[in-house]
Amino acid sequence: MMSTQWFVRIQPLAQKALEAVRTGQIKIVPEHFEKVYYHWLENIEDWCISRQLWWGHRIPAWVHQDGRIYVGKNPPTGNGWIPEEDVLDTWFSSGLWPFSTLGWPQDTPDLARFYPTSIMETGYDILFFWVARMIMMGLWFTGEAPFHTVYLHGLVRDKYGRKISKTLGNVIDPLELVEKFGTDPLRFALVTSGTAGNDVNLDLEWVEYGRNFLNKVWQMTNFVTSNLDGDLPKGVPAPSELDLPSRWVMSRLNRLIKTVQYLFDTYQYGEAGRQIRTFLWDEVAPWYLEISKHPLYNGTDAEKITARRVLVHVMDISLRLLHPFMPFATEEMWSYLPHDGEALIIAKWAEADEQYIDDEAELQMNVLMDMVRQIRDIRNNQYDIPPSKKLSAIVAPGKHRDNIKQYAYVFARLCNIDHITLLDDDAPAPEEVASGVVSDVTVYLPLKGMIDVDAEIERLNKEREKLEAQIAKTQGMLNNEGFVSRAKPEVVERERVHLAELQASLSQITEQLSRLKG
């Protein structure tokens, strides 16, 4: 049925909104949605703003019995005026939200402080219905854009990518997920499962994975707090006062801070969350926390204090980084750590300290970690030796003799090696052993009576083939004049060092095969 409606001539407002994005005053993330925005506003028509609903903002109009129409802030004088019964379109009301809620049109302290804001986050499906209306209204009524960036997330779909609907029977009730897994795991799963502007295929396994990750962080925090004894000096010791594992974890932490800040600055929030999870779950928990048990339980008083300070610092900064993703649990965990301030939500954001970024410490620690991986592989995958069985190791240490000697306890704690014998540089390789090669280090595990010589020869042949393929690839790059001339000098040098390491590993494997074959 045809009826009289109220319209707004919207083109003048749309022109201001178009100009704001074209000139860069407002940025839309991801950028390809700018085309959608332009299409809507360049083809916009007069906007019907009246709705026949029981609720909503009143249209400030009155109709006289004789047909006259009055629009104004205050009712007209005289008799015979009837208030307009239609209400404003909800998107008209929503478009006023950024400033109308702050006391506008009065010049209030809230308006001065909070308008304009910084980033507007919403779904791409209402880019025109809401975002464009807020921009048009804000520019027209206040002369300022309501925000400088629009970040658009995708729609939530089921794990197969289907739209959620009652017909398909795939409705996901967030309250049920919160009840089952918790609020923070659901939040973490949603943020880390997608990228800007792309739909999220929500798999409940991801939410469960988020809960498991949260449990791990809780256990890590509990480990740190349960090993505190009295007050600690504030801050973390200088790099020169730290042992290799502590220098390594501090370097990794400060690299993480830089990475997360870059990802936040470029609106890659999902990847930032994934990087934080990887650091805590794959680096701190299985490596540094386990290694720290040696100074905590067997070290001097000074070593214990240093380990505690590093542990507290690593967890404190990690919780600050994780807080935007898991606000409730991190707030609770942080409250148990030694800290300054009332709450994590208002604590200072983490900033990288360049003095702790240490390439050499990471390189040296990676050698020790790769040695642990090699020993575990020999024990668990090649010979199925029970983890509880203590083994001894013989090591040709190459240029890493001092570190292997100083940090022999790492192998005792992480792969149950109770004794390490370091060979002289010119010493012959032992017989009847399983071996692993890391850089210029060779690890031998005496396995007399437990080694299958044929299986070991087969493994070494496969390793040799893999190394030969890597050497051929790297040599091809270095023989390519185009690569050498265009790449940065440090990149070329890194490839040359990598080639030398591969060749050293191949030489050692060739020698091992020769010994096994007699």
CA atoms within 13 A on the CB side of 350: 27
Sheet hosting strand 433-438, strand order edge to edge: 417-422, 391-396, 441-446, 433-438
Q: What are phi and psi of 158, to 5 degrees?
A: -75, 175
38 vs 19, 20, 87, 147, 197, CA distance in Å? 10, 11, 29, 18, 17
Please tell me the predicted confidence (pLDDT) of residue 82.
94
Report the C-alpha gap between 141 and 135 in whole angstroms. 10
Give the pair of three-digit tokens for residue 494. 């890194």
Tell me the whole-structure pTM to 2 decimals. 0.81
Domains of the chain in start order, with CATH, are: 7-49+89-153 (no CATH), 175-357 (1.10.730.10), 380-451 (no CATH), 453-518 (1.10.287)
Question: Are 282 and 270 within 8 A, CB to CB?
Answer: no
Residue type, 145: A
Residue 283 DSSP class:
I
Q: Measure the CA–CA gap between 297 and 306, rounded to whole angstroms.
A: 13
Note the pLDDT of residue 450: 61
What is the number of H-type helices and E-type strands within the chain?
A: 20, 16
Per-residue pLDDT of the chain (518 residues; tens, 9 = 90+): 678 899 999 999 999 999 999 999 999 999 999 999 999 999 999 999 999 998 899 999 999 999 999 999 899 999 999 999 999 999 999 999 999 999 999 999 999 999 999 999 999 999 999 999 999 999 999 999 999 999 999 988 988 889 888 888 888 899 999 999 999 999 999 999 888 888 889 889 999 999 999 999 999 999 999 999 888 999 999 999 999 999 999 999 999 999 999 999 999 999 999 999 999 999 999 999 999 999 999 999 999 999 999 999 999 999 999 999 999 999 999 999 999 999 999 999 999 999 999 999 999 999 999 999 999 988 887 766 778 888 899 999 999 999 999 999 999 999 999 899 999 988 998 887 888 899 899 999 987 756 567 887 888 899 899 999 999 999 999 999 888 888 888 888 989 999 999 998 888 788 777 766 65
- Answer left, alpha or beta for residue 341, where phi above 0 means left and psi between -120 and 50 means alpha: left
